[in-house]
Amino acid sequence: MLEKIEKLEAEIKEAISKITDLKSAEELRIKYFSKKGEFTRLFDEFRNLPKEEKPKIGQLLNKVKNELNEIFKNKQAQLKAEKAESENYIDLTLPGKKRELGSYHLLTQTLREIKGIFGKLGFSIHEGPELESDYYNFEALNFPPDHPARDMQDTFFINDKFLLRTHTSPVQARLMQSRDLPIRAIIPGKVYRNEAISAKSYCLFHQVEGLYIDTDVTFAELVGTLVSFAREFFGEDVKYRFRPSFFPFTEPSAEVDIWWEPSGKEGRWLEILGCGMVDPNVLEFNGIDSEKYTGYAFGLGIERMTMLKYGIDDIRVFFDNDKRFLEQF
């Protein structure tokens, strides 16, 4: 029994001296000091010794185990300290880590540019709720309940009275009902249409609408404002045209096209916005004397403007959150 204790003592001391990490330390603890380890086997043998040998052997066995356990714990503490020091070590000779900074989304950049242009033309900025009532989205804008023009817009209805707005025009009605004249404002925001998602259409997009109401406002002023905008946004040499059109809340109405020549493709006219003189019915409905006041309104899509300006041919890339696309701008 004495020979076994001496042999095990030497074996454990050598094993402890060879430990290099906490994993091997744990393996050593299990092998020698656990309930099924080597010391447990020695104590099992100790129980079968003659009574006269037990005091001496037992005292030695306990002494050796305690000493080895202390040596092991010291080694384990040393390894833990070395690991902590290694993890917290900072090499001051290494180059610093580059912090990547985000930037404005391309649609936000375009919106900020549009706001800046109209701001210089004297337009203030107003916003309104995206969850809108049928009254403000349609009725206050010359869309009676049975008006066929309601079918022009596929709408997300929440219930009979509320919907996700299909344009930012409801804010125009709110402005006409709540503000003193004159009004000269643009209204940016998200709008929703129940449309199939494709390269050219999406169920969510962004609009900027404009409204100007005062005495003696003319269609010529509308044309001048939009031409000034187009030249600053697309460049002084932009080619444009106004085409007669129809909108329920303006009369007369027009659409504005620009001549677009994408690289390697044949040029063509593309619509950028709709506009017109505010229909007298809309003015009267919202409490404005149409005999005294006139006004114009216009609306443009941020996605469409961005796609034209930067030569992007798929609207879905604005919503994919693909860094490879976003980092280009």
Q: Is 321 left (phi over 0), alpha (psi -120 to 50) or beta?
A: left
Q: What is the CATH number of the domain that holds 249?
A: 3.30.930.10
Q: Minimum mean pLDDT among 32-41, 134-143, 293-302: which range?
A: 32-41
- Domain boundary residue among 59, 87, 115? 87
Q: Number of structural domains, the chain?
A: 2
- Per-residue HEC secondary structure of 242-285 comes to EEEEEECCEEEEEEEEEEECCCCCCCEEEEEEEEEEECHHHHHH
Assess whether 113 and 14 both reside in one domain. no
Decide if 92 is inside a domain: no
Q: Minimum mean pLDDT among 28-32, 44-48, 253-257, 297-301: which range?
A: 44-48
Assess whether 113 and 227 both reside in one domain. yes
- Residue 252: asked if its preceding bond is cis (omega within 30°), the reply is yes
Assess whether 232 and 279 both reside in one domain. yes
The predicted-structure confidence for 101-152, as pLDDT tens digits, reads as follows 888 999 999 999 999 999 999 999 999 999 999 889 888 888 777 766 566 5
Contact 203, 197 (CB under 8 A): yes
Say whether pTM exceeds 0.75. Answer: no
* Average of per-residue pLDDT across 224-247: 94
* Average of per-residue pLDDT across 158-183: 90
- Domain boundary residue among 87, 120, 148? 87
Decide if 95 is inside a domain: no
Assess whether 164 and 251 both reside in one domain. yes
- Domain boundary residue among 42, 59, 87? 87
Assess whether 252 and 112 both reside in one domain. yes
Assess whether 22 and 117 both reside in one domain. no
Domain that holds residue 304: 107-326
Residue 290: the pLDDT is 94
Assess whether 78 and 158 both reside in one domain. no
The predicted-structure confidence for 73-95, as pLDDT tens digits, reads as follows 888 888 888 877 777 767 677 78
Decide if 300 is inside a domain: yes
Contact 114, 302 (CB under 8 A): yes
Residue 157 pLDDT class (50, 70, 90 cuts): confident
Q: What's the CA gap between 270 and 258, in Å, rounded? A: 6
- Cβ of 177: how many Cβ atoms within 10 Å? 13
Assess whether 194 and 276 both reside in one domain. yes
Residue-level length of the chain: 329
- How confident is the prediction for the chain on average, in pLDDT? 87
